[in-house]
């Protein structure tokens, strides 16, 4: 185990810069306040063989084309040689990528970091990486990404946080709580509508309680609140849903939907989607 840990530590690096843009130029100045669709999905580095087949290509293209805001976790940096780099331009989406770390041994190709990617047609007014101060097993940090967007016909801006939270720590939930506190501070500083979505790794009751305490304090409502729905759950360490979409200051136009990508072996997570309107 010591040798394995040393090998992994030698392979893990933190890219500089950690924020980059990918795809065509943004084609819009604002999101449509009359209705915008948010899709959040942990794509598991798009590394499975299913990503290469025609059914997968069609499913992914449809998923991307329907989204006004696409929030991906565990994505590889979307350069032209990667599956995401090839599909984003076709959907007319431009991505902002926030790197967590680079380690070819953990999934992404040599020279490609893994992290979170927020893609849209509308240009973000601001972008901020929220990098964890802590690392899983002392090796791999996690990054979340905060972006803000203009809403058509409104002076208010929408804050979008694409979150990927730590999954493993030693004895306490302090590291997980620190990440949530960073997110809470960004939300508290924003006077306007908010979308918080992503893979929260809320696999246990204790983690779920911490997450819900933060979202309640911030005035956020969950899109999905049924304990028996089809959201992905952890294999070990608890049976709570891992993925969430929360919102405030906008209205849910229709019930949220859960994708079936795990059954297609496109990822080990199913996507979440919801459509919102500005009141």
pLDDT for 69? 97
Encode pLDDT of 7-53 as tens digits. Answer: 555 578 877 668 888 878 899 999 999 999 999 999 888 766 666 66
Please state the pTM of the whole predicted model.
0.92
pLDDT at 238: 77
What residues does each domain of the chain span? Answer: 2-277
CB under 8 Å to 7, separation ≥6 — which residues? Answer: 105
The residue that leads in pLDDT, 137 or 204, is 204
Q: Is residue 191's pLDDT more than 50?
A: yes
Q: Where does the pLDDT of residue 54 fall: very low under 50, low under 70, confident under 90, or very high at 90 and above?
A: low
Lowest mean pLDDT among 107-121, 141-155, 251-265: 107-121
* pLDDT single digits (tens) 257-275: 999 888 878 888 899 999 9
Compute φ and ψ for 86, nearest 5 degrees: -85, -30
Tens digits of residue pLDDT in 164-187: 999 877 777 889 999 999 999 999
Classify domain 2-277 at the CATH topology level.
Deoxyribonuclease I; Chain A (3.60.10)
Which position has the higher pLDDT, 164 or 226?
164
């Amino acid at each position: 185990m010591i040798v394995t840990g040393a090998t992994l530590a030698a392979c893990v690096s933190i890219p500089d810069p950690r924020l980059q843009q990918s795809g065509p130029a943004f084609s819009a100045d604002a999101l449509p306040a009359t209705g915008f669709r948010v899709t959040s999905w942990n794509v598991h580095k798009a590394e499975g063989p299913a990503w290469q087949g025609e059914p997968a290509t069609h499913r992914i293209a449809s998923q991307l084309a329907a989204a006004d805001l696409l929030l991906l976790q565990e994505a590889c940096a979307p350069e032209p040689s990667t599956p995401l780099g090839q599909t984003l331009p076709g959907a007319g989406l431009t991505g902002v990528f926030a790197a967590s770390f680079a380690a070819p041994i953990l999934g992404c190709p040599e020279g490609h970091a893994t992290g979170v990617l927020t893609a849209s047609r509308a240009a973000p007014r601001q972008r901020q990486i929220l990098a964890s101060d802590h690392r899983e097993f002392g090796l791999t940090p996690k990054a979340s990404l905060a972006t803000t967007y203009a809403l058509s016909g409104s002076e208010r801006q929408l804050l979008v946080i694409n979150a990927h939270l730590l999954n493993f720590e030693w004895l306490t939930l302090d590291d997980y709580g620190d990440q949530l506190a960073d997110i809470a501070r960004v939300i508290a500083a924003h006077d306007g509508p908010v979308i918080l979505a992503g893979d929260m790794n809320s696999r246990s009751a204790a983690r779920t309680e911490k997450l819900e305490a933060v979202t309640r304090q911030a005035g956020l409502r969950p899109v999905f609140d049924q304990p028996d729905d089809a959201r992905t759950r952890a294999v070990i360490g608890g049976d709570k849903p891992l993925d969430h979409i929360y919102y405030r200051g906008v209205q849910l136009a229709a019930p949220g939907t859960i994708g079936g990508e795990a059954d297609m072996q496109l990822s080990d997570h199913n996507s979440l989607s919801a459509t919102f309107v500005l009141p």
